[in-house]
Amino acid sequence: MRQHDTLFIGGEWVAPAGTGVIDVISPHTEEVVGRVPDGTPADMDRAVAAARAAFDHGPWPRMTFAERAAVIDRLAGIYAARQGEMAALITEEMGSPITFSNLAQAPQPLGMLQFYAEYGKTFAQEEQRPGLFGPTTVRREPVGVVAAIVPWNVPQFVAMTKVAPALLAGCTIVLKPAPETPLDSYLFAEMVKEAGIPDGVLNIVPAGREAGEHLVSHPGVDKVAFTGSTAAGRRIAAICGEQLKRVSLELGGKSAAIILDDADLPASMGMLAIASLMNNGQACVAQTRILASRNRYDEVVEAVAGMVTSQPVGDPADPATGIGPLVAKRQQERVEGYIKTGMDEGAKVVVGGLSRPMDRGWYVAPTVFAGATNDMRIAREEIFGPVLTVIPYDDEADAIRLANDSEYGLSGTVWTADADHGMDIARQVRTGTYGVNCLMLEANVPFGGYKASGLGRELGPEGLNAYLEYKTIARLG
């Protein structure tokens, strides 16, 4: 078992203020695999104080972008050497299939570090613009102390969407990992220490909701970057709005995959399996509404059912596993509750249902619903598990209408033999990320959502802007 008795604050491993602990439980074995301190508001106060001192008096915000980029590049090199270890650790703590961990859980955070390290080499802190009476300087400065609050499903991926650009901007950070998945943050802290990032620039305090809200409302925090549920995002936005504090939110999704009549179904199912079932369905961008024309509806249902049943369910550490357990018992019960709701609403279970596929572990049966309508709860609410709903549409205009008929707007896809026509569809769906015959998240392009899926953008040059303040300096003479 991995035992951690300290918190990472001010560049040191320090004793927590309280005696509470967080047990990290394997979703596969239901056994304790790790234990860390349960951070308290007093620990958050200490972490913010360390970040505040590092920002107000330390070297990090006063370095050039190129100097910070060089340190981030060094951190990326250390991360690259340990990414296999990181992938295995995330699989152990939250049940992500090891193939997905090796594909995304560790490599994509590394890619973000590498992108911002390269981008920062030539990024200009100041630029000159002509003014009415003389030159005007536009200067980019770090926003200050950042509270980064991340969920359990892709813990390093989400942490790095915040940490990597905030570091390049010159901010200092208090990172709060989710209680379900704190172990990966301890490994990352070791890398930060080895990379020589100055003390107090990154502080890590795993904790629950009470300490998290204390961090959000702390007067020493200048910006909050949050990923999680839409309900929690509304609460955080209200606190930040009252304090006029900068905030960025990446929230829920209920994304639609539009399958056009010309789509090659066998060719599409391989990529759609990743897009809809990645990480055991625990992904905000998962394509969980499958929109199929009435002309090919039965054929699409059969293809989707075959795709789901072809994914082996089992031990997430086994490379042959396609779908592992859910992160916690409460999540298992939540997803099973939605499966029952779908049945009660009149949708037909094509595969899956309420029979659990494993005697031990927090597994649910990967499930496909047919005969569903877009007004059912299973089509409107984020389930966050391997549950797909196939919904019929009349024509392409109806498909676009259904895709847009959601409070969310995080991602979406279209599947077609005509990629140019797919681009036309993509331009009409109100989401922040879209794919034609694929679903990709790249470090160099913005990621975020429309509507209740969030505020602001992460990644790419736009993600850096979220951690900068712009200062205009006019001069005469």
As annotated, the active-site residues are 250, 284
- Measured N-to-C along each axis, helices 65-81 and 107-120 cross at an angle, to the nearest 10 degrees, of 160
Instruction: Pull the structure tokens for residue 48.
Output: 């913010």
Q: Are 453 and 253 in contact (CB under 8 A)?
A: yes
Task: Check if the beta carbon of residue 20 is closer than 8 Å to that of residue 190.
Answer: no
Residues 7, 175: contact at Cβ < 8 Å? no
**What is the 3-class SS of the chain, one letter each residue?**
CEECCCEEECCEEECCCCCCEEEEECCCCCCEEEEEECECHHHHHHHHHHHHHHHHHCCHHHCCHHHHHHHHHHHHHHHHHCHHHHHHHHHHHHCCCHHHHHHHHCHHHHHHHHHHHHHHCCCCCEEEEECCCCEEEEEEEECCEEEEECCCCCHHHHHHHHHHHHHHHCCEEEEECCCCCCHHHHHHHHHHHHHCCCCCCEEECCECHHHHHHHHCCCCCCEEEEECCHHHHHHHHHHHHHHCCEEEEECCCCEEEEECCCCCHHHHHHHHHHHHHHHHHCCCCCEEEEEEECCCHHHHHHHHHHHHHCCCECCCCCCCCCECCCCCHHHHHHHHHHHHHHHHHCCEEEEEECCCCCCCCCCCEEEEEECCCCCCHHHHCCCCCCEEEEEEECCHHHHHHHHHCCCEECEEEEECCCHHHHHHHHCCCCCCEEEECCCCCCCCCCECCEECCEECCECHHHHHHCCEEEEEEECCC
The number of residues in the chain equals: 477
The first and second tokens of residue 193, run together, are 């220490």
Quote the CA–CA distance of 72 and 123 in Å, as a whole number: 14
């992904």: which residue's tokens? 283
Q: CA gyration radius for the chain? A: 23
Tokens 């203020």 correspond to 17
